[in-house]
Structure 1
């Protein structure tokens, strides 16, 4: 009986626990509650992923009202993969958060901080499982408001302008999305995604549908930080508390890309002739620009958090490029890189958080001699950086290999795309090497405190992420299987 309710657990449990976290009498109890809830959601996500591993789709009618008249929770391979990313990132970040949160945030504010964290977890999970467009919007707004609070608690005054920029851009993106949803509701009288897909195929007038597709795509592209609508993201990552950067870097933009792919392939792809071709024609150049320009800016950054932020702009370009190939292979590459990049970037920000706890800053100069002062932490950063570049036997290599295979199916265009992938990967070598050079080949300043390795509560999970990157580099069967089912679902209505 309890297992039958699992589809709503990722939303209900953290949502009900958030007020309890705010009422906790001290920061330790608030942290323990948040960690326990996140772990329960992660275990639930694993159970759901196993349940849909063979391509099964779970539909849960909230309140017993069957879709499209009631609220539907819908879980397939794609949504299960997103639940794993969101809950896994939250659990990793919370497990390692105590040292950095205690350093960044006053003790009396921490219960409220963890309450906002649980709201963000509930909202991102809700976006992944929601079966209708309006509830996606509701959870999108909850996640945004909670994320603003999390980022604004950064240790420096720059966190406030970074939050304000994120707020403005996020509000514009949500408004565009809501206008698009309003237009399709006007045409169909339904908000259920599966029902929308069917009814839009018989829509008498396609111009409002085309306008809705434009509004939804631009709004979600802004929320997902797709180039050139990415300007809010690097500062948000740089100014947020280090633990928040671990959580958001691994999950926030991936969830918004998930919604974008759902709409553009499942809802609009079946309704508008040549929609997918127009989608690819518009977004493929932006994906290529993101890969090159994001990497180029990362090569020049002096703040390592901002460097990783611009690196994420480039990596989102890889994901988008796979989707714009309009093939099952391309979408499989896109989805598997969403999973792999979440592991890689979450691990890299965790390594940075551990370094900042001991070093006290995220500027490149502060990392001088870090390889000798914190050898295990820095070695973890190097291994994860190799995965980001795409070195063989790592998860990052699998992502790029699958993407290259998908590009080869495109003929001459594919060759040009592969050249862009290789150039961007070589640029990633440069900015990762900049950190390695400073950490291993420059002597630390004389006035620094004695060398101290990162706390074990951060170091052990960091090497756990290294191990996962190697494991999924050697045996990528699980994410590839889920990504393959997700790609088949998305391509079902492609035109």
Structure 2
């Protein structure tokens, strides 16, 4: 049997089946080991799937012997392979980092269920990218969402329960909107397969139900995406969740929501209808611009670094929304590129904050003063991640913002180019707050603080190195984003 043929389903099944296995062994060390093996295998399979898609084209994997559109199809094109690589690589690095952090931040009796739940979240996010069926997408969305609510609530800080409850309420509203939107599409077309929907919808664009379906889907995905002003669940969810959860969600969950938005707007509907005739382009540009300015200003006044980076994430998602709203090929490519690069930045930063929590017990700015002397490798990793967040040349963040600037100028919207630069200047201010406390303030800690363990430093620095590497070598990130955007839009301008 050629197992490689079944990678489209195994990349979901292996983490999903390892979740109950963790519970059955009921030992924290073994649960962590199985989780690392499962995510490592998923990453290896996603690399193979990407290579196959690049050389042989889109992969179609049917379940149960039923051919699409009647049966459920798993369909992997360049965009889904691109996002799948992102999910599985971050999941593997986060899992390698997790052991000591989880032992400290999660109650002992909850450690084994924690790993099982995290594997379910990974499986759900991977499923969203792989499936070619919109109802199946909703099912995987609910698996990942319910797992995420649970993960956030597992922190020892009681505020994590409130954060998880707020996320639960807003996430449920978002999921309901998405389900209603899918129902409207099914009611008018009788189809759930994405390719079947894409072929039937153009004849129905004047139908009010089809237009209402797009509206419901956009609002629902906007809630999952934390698109301003639907972002109110995000700051507390990131700030009070265990560090491993903050890092994983910040790097993957909102990026999968971006994938869903692109898939519906450009793959199932088309760019001319969704971004121009409706016209969602103006809405996305306005909301993106508001997110960049308002969230960056709020971030400046935060004293908790996790909350600071959470508001920064809302601003960075604003860049992505703005890029999609430009409704041109360059804008879509810039959105995909920034989606990938932002995951690298926030993955590195939140894992580094997890190392601070492990040694210092806090990520309040006042408790991080002078840590460069005691935790130099962790502190430098935070600074390099912050430079990528600003968009300093030589970092991944610079590359995606550079292409975003080009896209705004190509569209003739130079005020938006100025807005992007202003957002980067605001990022300088809140990143400088972190630099000032780590480097230039006298140490508050009376007792000596040790550097983070090597098991934590290696995943952090792999992500930091990726930020620097992709700041110079853009063949993979920009090249793949451009190919994916061309395939998704058919080269539409």
TM exceeding 0.5: yes
- Report the counterpart of residue 312 of structure 1 in structure 2: 313
Q: CA deviation at 1:420?
A: 0.4
Distance 1:470 1:341 in 2: 13
Q: CA deviation at 1:282?
A: 1.2
RMSD: 1.5
Q: What displacement does 1:26 show?
A: 1.1
Contact in 2 for aligned 1:119/1:146 (Cα 8 Å): yes
C-alpha distance after superposition, 1:221-244 (max 9, x if no partner):
001100000000110000100011
The more displaced of 157-166 and 264-273 is 264-273
Asked whether the 8 Å contact 1:206–1:272 carries over to 2, the reply is no
- Conserved? CA contact 2:153–2:241, under 8 Å: yes
The equivalent of 2:338 in structure 1 is: 337
Q: Which residue of 2 aligns with 1:206?
A: 207
Q: Are 1:387 and 2:388 an aligned pair? A: yes
**Residues 438 and 482 (structure 1 numbering): CA distance in 2 closer, same or farther, change over 3 Å?**
same
Are positions 1:427 and 2:421 aligned together?
no
**1:33 partnered with 2:31:** no
Per-residue Cα deviation, 1:75-97 (whole angstroms, up to 9, x for no partner): 11110111111111111111111
Match of 1:189 in 2: 190
Alpha-carbon distance change, 355 to 274 in structure 1, aligned in 2, over 3 angstroms: closer
Rounded Cα–Cα distance in structure 1 between residues aligned with 2:260 and 2:27:
37
Correspondence list, 1:394-473, <5 A: 394-411=395-412, 413=413, 415-445=414-444, 448-473=446-471
Change (3 A) 1:270 1:434: closer
- Assess if the C-alpha contact under 8 Å between 1:269 and 1:276 holds in 2: no
- 1:51 Cα deviation (Å)? 1.6
Aligned to 1:137: 138
Query: Equivalents in 2 of 1:274, 1:340: separation in Å?
Result: 24
Aligned to 2:377: 376
Aligned to 2:122: 121
Give the C-alpha shift of residue 189 in structure 1. Answer: 0.3
Q: Name the counterpart of 2:484.
A: 486
Distance apart, 1:274 and its partner CA = 6.5
1:44 maps to 45
- Would the alpha carbon gap of residues 274 and 12 (structure 1) be closer, same or farther in structure 2, given more than 3 Å must change? closer
Contact residue 333 and residue 482 of structure 2 kept, 8 A:
yes
Alignment correspondent of 1:68:
69
What is the number of residues matched between the two proteins?
492
Are residues 326 and 204 of structure 1, via their aligned partners in 2, closer, same or farther at CA, if it must alter by over 3 Å?
A: closer
Aligned: 1:282 with 2:280? no
For the 8 Å contact 1:269–1:493, the answer to whether it is kept is: no
- The structural deviation recorded for 1:277 is 6.0
Deviates more, 1:271-280 or 1:66-75: 271-280
Q: Is the 8 A contact 1:266 1:494 kept in 2?
A: no
Deviation of the 1:283 alpha carbon: 1.1
Contact 1:35–1:91 (Cα < 8 Å) also in 2: yes
- Please tell me whether the aligned partners of residues 201 and 270 of structure 1 are also in contact (alpha carbons under 8 angstroms): no
SS at match of 2:61: strand
SS at match of 2:452: coil
Query: Cα distance 1:146–1:330, how it changes in 2: closer, same or farther (>3 A)?
Result: same
SS in 1 for 2:258: helix
Kept in 2: contact 1:325–1:407 (CA 8 A):
yes
Unaligned 5+ segments in structure 1 are: none
Q: What is the aligned partner in structure 1 of residue 243 from structure 2?
A: 242
1:260 aligns with 2:237: no
1:271, 1:313 → 2: CA distance? Answer: 27
Q: Is the 8 A contact 2:284 2:324 kept in 1?
A: no
TM-superposed deviation, 1:269: 2.1
Secondary structure of the residue aligned to 1:453 is: coil
Q: 8 Å contact 2:329–2:492 — kept in the other structure?
A: no
d(CA) in 1 for partners of 2:323 and 2:330?
Answer: 8
> CA separation of 1:344/1:270 partners in 2, compared to 1, >3 Å: closer, same or farther?
closer
What SS does the corresponding residue of 2:192 show, helix, strand or coil? coil
For the residue of structure 2 that corresponds to 1:74, the secondary structure is strand
Contact 1:176–1:215 (8 Å) recurs in 2: yes
TM-score when normalising by structure 2: 0.97
Residue 357 of structure 1 aligns with which residue? 358
